[in-house]
Structure 1
């Protein structure tokens, strides 16, 4: 087995001193950009990884970011978060950080786990997912000055000009707007939207994109309400096709709903009716359905950037300054 590269190896490859390499890893702001880039290039080429235990002793930090591992829910859900956690782990590793997964079945239980991990010095920061209005997790973290970023916006009245915390999210409205415009141009003006009951921040945002595209085109379409369930979506769309007659296409808030709608159109012998999902999971790819891809790798990059900036450490605490507190990732429509 070959010997793991050392700081000295990196310094030699980059043509700098050992201290300069250390500065790039721990205080990059004091290093000139040209030198910093040269050292990072050498680190990447050699595959160097900082010795985490040594860094912890030196800085009194764990160099670890905690993130909640969602419980297995079956079905096709969870693919996006799986990709996000994988990308977060890779990108944190590139910055000399580790990811600590923890399980919890409720916000209260998650707060208890975060308390154990922060009090024990096992994590320096937290990434939370699945935010909602009045989320007690964000309030708990903010009150204790624990650095954190959310995958999901605060869902307040003004998350952009007056953000309550750092957040990164996917622009769901942009995704459904693109999907709706695609169907308006390809299928016709009667484009329905199949989404969740009102009150879900994510769902309402995705519905907004459909409404905006329809209004811009002067078109009208049915808004269908369904829980996140393939069988329920299949039955609902089947009933609507019977009662409303033909629609020209359906934009869905998720791939699960899109699969249900697709099965209903096949049952009604209108298999050519275009259906667009949201999440671009392997299942819709196998079925040949178009879908909106969230690009979780870009979300992960945004989360790391908000937590660490252009430094080699967690920024603590970082205020939620308007214009600098969020990263909004525009998704990509995959047409099949």
Structure 2
């Protein structure tokens, strides 16, 4: 066939009506599985590709997912989200969808950008990242009935039994639990934790895994630092002068790098330091770290939005089915 295949060619090849082919493309759930397979085989055989612009005007579907692109932070931070966005783009493409990146520096600015995308019918769904308690973005999306999923839980009283919306997240407590158990077995029972100030949902979750894994009777040395290599270095240097630690589990690789530098400077090269995020920085320094598996997070987000299909059809936010919790793994070095 020298010319491009048309929807009529597909219908003729599959032995169905033009409307059935259209239903397979735009509303596959209304077509029997056997018929869908026959139509898809004809599409593959003929190399048929519907005109995207015309399809968008006809169905008001853009086949596009909007994703917020965080401002460039430099340093160690941001590697996980970069991998997540890359994986989401790749896996969405495999399902016939596109990803539209948009930038915003504040939640309020992001809401304005999401409103523009919705009003222009430029996206069918949104993926947000970095959720926090009282997040105004999720409230706006729910109020305006925009399909969405978050990388980060809602941080409600019970996100499992009473989920506010669809979410996918990494089980941070499971990650630090793995790290703590490994540290106890390989270094000794005196395992401290270097985390962020209280009130960070993600940080508090990671601290929980450390606390529940400490040997009974062990001192719970909990150190605090913002996401800063320099400050973490100062805090750990001071702690090593007052505490006899065998190991230190950290809430991030940035904190772990600072802790490692402090240990070296203090002559404690035997101190086992374990990070969280498994970034190239941790790998370069030979530090063990918890791998978040952002590629699995991306797949989970798409499963919540699409199931096993090729169109946006979000799950209902019901107990047990509104989330995907990815278990991380400890990479030992």
Whole-Å Cα distance in 2 between the matches of residues 263 and 46 of structure 1?
61
Whole-Å Cα distance in 1 between the matches of residues 145 and 71 of structure 2?
27
Question: In the alignment, does 2:317 pair up with 1:320?
Answer: yes
Secondary structure at 1:203's aligned position in 2?
A: helix
Secondary structure at 2:158's aligned position in 1?
A: coil
Report if the CA contact (8 A) 1:192-1:222 is conserved.
yes
Deviation at 1:34, TM superposition (A): 7.7
Alpha-carbon distance change, 22 to 236 in structure 1, aligned in 2, over 3 angstroms:
same
Whole-Å Cα distance in 2 between the matches of residues 47 and 286 of structure 1?
46
TM-score by length of 2: 0.89
Report if the CA contact (8 A) 1:26-1:311 is conserved.
no
Deviation at 1:198, TM superposition (A): 0.4
Deviation at 1:35, TM superposition (A): 7.9
Match of 2:206 in 1: 206
Secondary structure at 1:134's aligned position in 2?
A: coil
Match of 2:331 in 1: 334
Whole-Å Cα distance in 2 between the matches of residues 129 and 51 of structure 1?
32
Secondary structure at 1:118's aligned position in 2?
A: helix
Report if the CA contact (8 A) 1:28-1:310 is conserved.
no
Question: Gaps spanning 5+ residues in structure 2: where?
Answer: none
Deviation at 1:62, TM superposition (A): 1.1
Whole-Å Cα distance in 2 between the matches of residues 36 and 208 of structure 1?
48
Deviation at 1:243, TM superposition (A): 1.6
Match of 2:278 in 1: 280
Deviation at 1:54, TM superposition (A): 3.7
Aligned length: 331
Whole-Å Cα distance in 2 between the matches of residues 287 and 5 of structure 1?
55
2:303 to 294, 302, 305: 305
Report if the CA contact (8 A) 1:290-1:335 is conserved.
yes
TM-score by length of 1: 0.88
Alpha-carbon distance change, 159 to 47 in structure 1, aligned in 2, over 3 angstroms:
farther
Whole-Å Cα distance in 2 between the matches of residues 92 and 6 of structure 1?
25
Whole-Å Cα distance in 2 between the matches of residues 307 and 152 of structure 1?
15
Alpha-carbon distance change, 103 to 218 in structure 1, aligned in 2, over 3 angstroms:
same
1:271 to 269, 272, 279: 269
Secondary structure at 2:303's aligned position in 1?
A: helix
Alpha-carbon distance change, 270 to 294 in structure 1, aligned in 2, over 3 angstroms:
same
Question: Gaps spanning 5+ residues in structure 1: where?
Answer: none
| Equivalent residue runs for 1:122-161 within 5 Å | 122-161=122-161
Whole-Å Cα distance in 2 between the matches of residues 218 and 82 of structure 1?
40
Q: Structure 1 segments of 4 or more deviating over 3 A?
A: 3-51
Secondary structure at 2:188's aligned position in 1?
A: coil
Match of 2:246 in 1: 248
Alpha-carbon distance change, 12 to 278 in structure 1, aligned in 2, over 3 angstroms:
farther
After superposition, give the CA deviation of every residue in 1:92-122 in whole Å (9 maximum; x if it has no partner).
1111111111111100111111111101111
Report which of the two structures shows the higher radius of gyration computed on alpha carbons.
2
| Equivalent residue runs for 1:149-298 within 5 Å | 149-214=149-214, 217-244=216-243, 246-298=244-296
Secondary structure at 2:62's aligned position in 1?
A: coil
Whole-Å Cα distance in 2 between the matches of residues 66 and 297 of structure 1?
17
Whole-Å Cα distance in 1 between the matches of residues 43 and 265 of structure 2?
56
Report if the CA contact (8 A) 1:68-1:102 is conserved.
yes
Alpha-carbon distance change, 135 to 188 in structure 1, aligned in 2, over 3 angstroms:
same
